[in-house]
Each structure stands twice: as structure tokens, then as C-alpha cells.
Chain A
Amino acid sequence: MDAVAVRSVEKTDYIGASSNLATIISQPPDGCSPERPAVLFLNAGIVHRIGPSRLHVKLARRLAEDGLLCARFDHSGIGDSGARRGTMEFMEAAVTEVQDVMDTLTGRYGSQRFIVFGLCSGADVGFEAAVADDRIAGVVQLDPWFYPTPKARWIHYKRHYGPQLIKPSAWLRFMKNRVQEIGKGSKSADLEEWFSKPEYIRITPARKHVLNGLSKLVKRDAKMLSIFSGTKAFGIYAYERQFFDAFPEIALESNMSVHHFADTTHLFTDLEHQASLARVLQAWLVKNGFLPT
């Protein structure tokens, strides 16, 4: 995905209300068109603005080549940005900072609409920012919040536990692993002092919160692309339509595209999966009129 002849122009800057958000702006080679949305890439956890697997750099340069102004920046306290000022907690500050970046891009380049792209916590911030701000016309989320369905539970148990329930060796292995996990507890605590802990702890909110947000986005015709990897770190996403099935109250399909990359890791570490992601993203942008055909 990376090996694209790049003609876009990149600039560095510190932007935002406190001028402390380290930002790289990728400009299209033929100039910025205010009619087209600008794309904001949001931090994934505490990984700085280049993104896991340098994903944000690769995608921003590709999209800029296609004609979209792109900005990848670090939220306060992450990467090369300054420390957060004031007393706001992470999510509130992050949404405000997204709005600050949008304000700057509007002022400098005339951008009126925006697309936010986020993985993991970046997906969470993107969702909350989109709900808070009508300027966000598109939301791309990798591993966003999701909820189980009866079908998901059935698929999961059948796939992973069904054949094992009748094997004594599987039960012995299970018990041995449990004992080892308990023993590991104190060793894990020793390792913690060598790691930087993220401030934002990802907890899936009550379903009603996400339902309200989705309703708001659908009502103003915002477009969404949600991609679920094969990670089980946040629960079990078992089949492609699970997200739609979890929200039967609203007709999401006209506004949301969902993809399930079951073999993909949370950080899209396989180059072929990155290429697939780029294709899906490009198709979604064209389908929703953000990019010309």
C-alpha cells in the first residue's frame, strides 16, 4: 500500500486553541478543493500520529493524491503534542481538539466538511466528535464499540467450544492455563512500571448511548464505515451483520457500511490486510460522494 508515487505536499504545524497539537497536513498536489471533505486521522491509543503500522501516513498520502486534504495530529499529551491544559478529561478534551483542528483547516483551506478516521480509542473519539459536531460528514471507525447478539454468542460458542466440550484433554489444558494465569499475576505487576499507561481506558458504554449517537448521525445523513478486525480484546465480533443486528431500532444500512476482517489483527499488521483496508476505504469514499468516481 505504501509504494505510491507521492506528489502531495506535507507541512508541519502546531495548531489548536492552545497551538500545542503537533500536526502534519497532507495537501493534494493540485490544490485543495473546499467542496471536498478534509480527513482527520485520530490517535490510536497512545501511538503517535503516524498510526499503528504507519497506517495514517500511508492512507493520508494516498488520499491526498486522490484530492483530499488530510491532517494527522497528536491529541494533547500524546506523541509530539503539548501537555493538556485545564481540567477536562480525555474524551472531552479530545473532542474539543478535533473541533479545533477543523476550525484551523476551515480558516486556512476553506474546508467545510470533514471525515474522521480512528482506530480503537480513535474510533471512540471520532464517534463522539461526529455526534457533537455537524461538520463531520463521515466517520471511519476501526474496531469501534459494538454489542453482542444472540447469534454472535451462538456462533462463538459453537466455533470455539463445541468440539472441545467432549474432550478430556481440552479440560485438562483449560485448568492448567488457569493455574498459570493466576501465577502470572504478580509478574505482570512488575512489568507495569516499565510501560507508559494510557490515560483513556476503553470501556464500552451503555448501548443506549451509542444508539442515541447513531440516531443523531443517521438523522443528519452522516455516512459511516465500520471495520471490525479479528481481535477478541473488546469482546466477540462473530459475523459481518452483527452491528446492524445489535441496533434493530434504527435503519443503519443506508448510512453505514460494515466489514468484518476476521483474520486481521487489531493494528492491521498484515500488509495484504492494509491493502484491503485501503481499497474498502476508497470504495466507501466514492460511494458516498466524498471522492469522484
Chain B
Amino acid sequence: MNIFFFGDSDAPLFGAYHQPAATQKRRSEGVVICSSVGHEMLKTHRALRQLATMLARAGYPVLRFDYSNTGDSSGACEQASMSRWIQDVVTASQELKEISGAQRITLIGLRLGANLAAMASMKIETMGRLVLWEPVVDGRQHMEHLLNASIASEYDQEFAQRLRHKLESGEIIGIAGFAVSPGLREEIASQDVTCFTRADAEQILILVGSQAENYAALQQRLQCGRPAKVDFACVEYPANWSEHDELGSQLLPQPMIQGILSWMQ
């Protein structure tokens, strides 16, 4: 695995490239992994590295990366935006093609990363497959859940009041330690199934951890009038992606990782 900075030299993105195993037949399809954001990204870092490692062993060149203003990429959290992140996915895809020679790009997106992957897929030439892993299909509910979880985890009894004041006055707030601007809050809150309508891929997998109603609506919307094959898989998952725990645990949903690998192969 190689770690490196790529993209605009004034605003570099961090990437981790997993070379395909030499013992495997080289595949023409490269995989870009689009992580979740904020504390969800911290909790799932190990899982995505494991997924990338297993895909590389199966012969796929894989690129994991940090969006602008997150992780080790340049920029402050306060200036983050989903529109910029969508462009970052496109940039990462181009980078993977250049360093690996891949001719098609598959995007695997986890949580909000799935939303970003779906929206970026329309902008990527030679788009291959798309994996939407537990996408955010109700942005308002997601934001509310994040805010409530944040309030519940703080010891400072004035935190909730300060948070509400900042929300009302349109200021930057902190969610589990990460600054979120009003613009980014609105972008996240506006996420719903319509964001996926124009997702463009040869094949699509929706992988979720519960039989929520919105996921069925997402599946129907993607299948409607689309030549691409849309697969839907539910692996009942007891843990909570958004829950913020004090000791920084890492989620490692092995059955889901195996499920993606099986579908890819």
C-alpha cells in the first residue's frame, strides 16, 4: 500500500493506494472507496481498509482517500461542502485511472459516501459499478440523529443550549468533534432518495443493515427506467453507525465486507 497526496497542489487530497496482488489476473476495473464523514469515518476506517485490502488481493487496484477538509487532506472542517466532495470523488477516480491503468471505475460508498458516490457517478467517464452501502436516504432525520447523539454524549450541561443558539443564528456547530457549517448542514439535510435518481452505473448494489421503508423506495427509484441491474441485500446489523462512543471503537461488519467482495467477484 502507498500513501500519498494527489490532486490540486494548493489543496492536496490524501490517498492510500492498494496495488492489486501480482498473483491475480489484472483487472481493468479500479475501485474508489468513498468513506463516510465525521466520527463515522473514524469508526469505519479499519473496515474500509480491510475491504480495500481484500479487493486488492482479488486483483482490483483500489484507492481510498480523504475528502477535502477531512482526514489528512488539506483544508479546515469549517469549509467543507458536499459539492466539493463530489468533485473530489471524480478527482480520485481520475487519479486511480492514471496510476493503475484501470479503464473503468467502480465506486463503493459507505453512508454519506454512498450519496457522494451516486452523485459523482454521473460525472465519471467509463463508470463501472456502484455500491451504495447503507446510504443516507433521509438527510433531515440523519442530521437530527447526529445532533441528538452529540448532545447526549456531552458532559457540559450548557452544550445543548449553546448548540441550539448556534443553530438558530446560523453559526458553525460541532458534531462529535467535527465542525459543520450551515451550508454543509443544509446539504446533508437535503439528502433523500431523489439524490440517487440519476446515479449512473452498469450495475448497482444497495447493501443495508435493516429493512427500512426508505431503502425499498430507493431500490424502486433506481430500478425504474434503468437498464442497469440493481441488486438489493440486507444484512441485519445490530450496531449504530452514527452512535458516538466515548472510547473511539471501530466498527468492523465482516458479513457486509464479505458481501461486497462476493458481489464484486
Contacts and interface: CB of A to CB of B under 8 A. Distances in A.
A233 interface: yes
A81 to B, nearest CB: 10
B41 to A, nearest CB: 9
A52 B153 contact: no
A181 interface: no
A291 B176 CA distance: 30
Contacts, number: 130
Contacts of B159: 270
A135 to B, nearest CB: 26
Contacts of B78: 2-3
A190 B42 contact: no
Interface string B124-165: 000000000000000000000000001001111101001000
A14 B2 CA distance: 8
Contacts of A48: 42, 45
Contacts of B76: 2-4, 6
Nearest to B237: A194
A260 interface: no
B248 interface: yes
Contacts of B1: 80
Contacts of B250: 46-47, 195-196
Given A54-B178, A191-B239, A269-B154, A80 B251 contact: no
Interface stretch (B66-74, B89-97, B192-200, B217-225): B66-74
Contacts of A266: 246-247
B16 A80 contact: yes
Contacts of A288: none
Interface residues of A, number: 48
Contacts of B244: 269
Nearest to B80: A2
Nearest to B1: A80
B252 A194 contact: yes
Given A57-B71, A263-B156, A233 B246 contact: yes
A6 B74 contact: yes
A264 B155 contact: yes
A24 interface: yes
A57 B72 contact: yes
Nearest to A14: B3
Nearest to A60: B72
A230 B173 CA distance: 21
A22 interface: yes
A80 B156 CA distance: 34
B252 A196 contact: yes
A213 to B, nearest CB: 24
Interface string A32-54: 00000000000011111110111
18 contacts: A4-B76, A6-B76, A10-B74, A22-B3, A24-B72, A44-B248, A47-B45, A48-B42, A52-B177, A54-B178, A57-B72, A194-B253, A230-B155, A265-B153, A267-B246, A267-B248, A269-B150, A270-B156
A113 B39 CA distance: 33
Contacts of A264: 155-156
A231 interface: yes
B209 to A, nearest CB: 10
A50 B72 contact: yes
Interface string A268-287: 11111110000000000000
Interface string B99-142: 00000000000000000000000000000000000000000000
A231 B72 CA distance: 27
Contacts of A6: 74, 76
A196 B176 contact: no
A79 interface: yes
Contacts of A190: 238
B4 interface: yes
8 closest A-B pairs by beta carbon, nearest first, are A53-B177, A271-B174, A263-B156, A2-B76, A269-B177, A196-B250, A196-B252, A230-B155
